[in-house]
Amino acid sequence: MHIFKLNGVHVPHLKKTAAMKAVRIPAPQTVIIPLSMHIGTPAQAVVKAGDTVRVGDLIGQAEGNISAPVHASVSGTVKKIDKVVLASGNTVDAVIIESDGLMTVSDSVKPHSVAGYEDFIAAVRDSGAVGLGGAGFPTAVKLDVKDTSRIKAVIINGAECEPYITSDTRTMLDDADWIRKGAELLEKHLRVKNIIIGIEKNKPECIKKMREVFANDKAVTVKELPSVYPQGGEKVLIYNTIGEIVPEGKLPIDVGAIVINCTTLLVIAKYIETGMPLVEKCITVDGSAVNEPKNVIAPIGTKLSDIFDFCGGFKSEPAKVLYGGPMMGIAVSDLDAPLLKNNNALIAFDSKDAEPKENTACINCGKCVDHCPLRLNPVAISKAFARKDADELSVLKVNLCMECGCCAYICPTGQPLVQRNRLAKELVREHHKKEGKNNG
């Protein structure tokens, strides 16, 4: 695998909300809080219909090693535990709470005493923190490396390279002290001596702010990165900050790196100092169909329709609504869908902007290869997938694809390359599963 610093694409930034401080939405009437908003095992409900809850109360207990607890984001009454279908297509349990409008904070919300490494990891787990840049991996699992001498660098992801999205920008500008406190916790409990904050150079205010906040901390370096998408991709960020390549099937810690989103770090610091777990998110609401684009702080589980209403509704009929940005976002079919932990934006496009490229025959121009950050060959992958050749797909390293969308974005013929790669990865997984059964 060969990664080059400037591989990727130059996307329009469209970050018109960057100068807008986040505003808090009033308590919604109802929240729908899924018990699976993270990679791994879903949490298990510890409340039932009729229970009274307050903000910060535990409503879903983490199950297994890779899981995360879930907490009430409003005060009120549990209406029911129900099944909901997420935009990913997964059907999960969700706690539906009728808000009393008071946002009364739970008695359990109190500062935590963290005496050492084990206490720190336990606190991170109890906070409900997951990767807030989009991945949703439980943060405690990522930080629980046991042997902290393996850590060469912690990389704080402030790249925010997707078009439109500015929620992390506002975190860096408005909550810089929380990021500083989070970094100090990492230095103390993970014994980290090298923390790198990676920020794209199109965010000079963030670079300046972080350098000011960490001016007296010799362990922290603010690294200005080229504005090339997908600069914020984990493997790309690792290479462009410490020069390490994460091999196929390996984790960042295998090359001595831990990557943590800047807003995730804020959640950890706030939880330890105040006791408030992850119950709300700052998100960017934007797109050509949105009447009043802005950054919004909303309780997790808030219906998307309530958030859009808070932003003045739609100025035109939305033809496509996305969790996240236009490059890696997931389409949402129902505006009653809830805001999730790992959402950083809601983007609504009108019919003009939602129109897909016209799909014509591949002309073998090679642009998809030239711009892939991981130097994969989407054309060859497409051909192998058409043949259902799982072995060839493995040789082509399709599992390395991070579905960043560079190939589809740059393709002049409108090939649905990301979708094919995703299906190809599933084909390889099924093939390996069958091989395992046959060998067993």
Q: Tens digits of per-residue pLDDT, 367-400?
A: 999 999 999 999 999 999 999 999 999 999 999 9
Residue 3: pLDDT band (50, 70, 90) is: very low
pTM of the model: 0.94
Mean pLDDT of 160-176: 97
Percentage of the chain beyond pLDDT 70 is: 97
Task: Return the pLDDT at 437.
Answer: 52
Cα gap 300→344, rounded to integer Å: 11
Kindly tell me if the per-residue pLDDT of 223 is higher than 60.
Answer: yes
Where do the DSSP E strands lie in 100-256? 153-157, 195-200, 220-225
Q: Peptide bond before 230: cis, by omega within 30 degrees of 0?
A: yes
User: What pLDDT is stored for residue 6 in this prediction?
Assistant: 56
**Residues 6 or more apart from 202 whose CB is under 8 A from it?**
13, 15, 227
For residue 122, give both structure tokens: 């336990």
Integer Cα distance of 257 and 235 in angstroms = 10
Mean pLDDT of the chain: 94
**Cβ 424 vs Cβ 376: under 8 Å:** no
Phi, psi of 34 (to 5 degrees): -65, 145
Sorted by sequence, the CB contacts under 8 Å of residue 396 that are 6+ apart come out as 376, 377, 380, 381, 384
Contact in structure between 307 and 339 (CB atoms under 8 Å): yes
Q: Please give the pLDDT value at position 278.
A: 98
Residue with tokens 């790309």: 236
136 confidence band (pLDDT: 50, 70, 90): confident
**C-alpha 246 chain-centroid distance:** 19
Separation CA 313–CA 292 (nearest Å): 8
Distance CA 255, CA 346 (A): 34
Question: If you average pLDDT over residues 340-359, what whole number do you get?
Answer: 94
pLDDT beyond 80 at 54: yes
Expressed in angstroms, the distance from the first to the final Cα of the chain is: 31
Is the pLDDT at 162 greater than 70? The verdict is: yes
CB 338 within 8 A of CB 280: no
Average pLDDT rounded to a whole number, residues 321-350: 96
pLDDT band at 18 (very low <50, low <70, confident <90, very high): very high
Q: Which of 182-191, 250-259, 285-294, 430-439 has the lowest mean pLDDT?
A: 430-439
Bond preceding residue 299 cis, omega within 30 of 0: no
Answer whether 91's CB lies under 8 Å from 335's CB.
no
- pLDDT confidence of residue 1: 43
**What is the reported pLDDT for 134?**
65
Tell me: pLDDT of 4 over 50: no
Residue 65 is predicted with a pLDDT of: 87
Say if residue 246's pLDDT is above 50: yes
Give the pLDDT mean for 157-183.
97
Distance CA 137, CA 249 (A): 16
pLDDT of residue 97: 98
- For position 5, what pLDDT does the model report? 46
pLDDT score at 438: 58
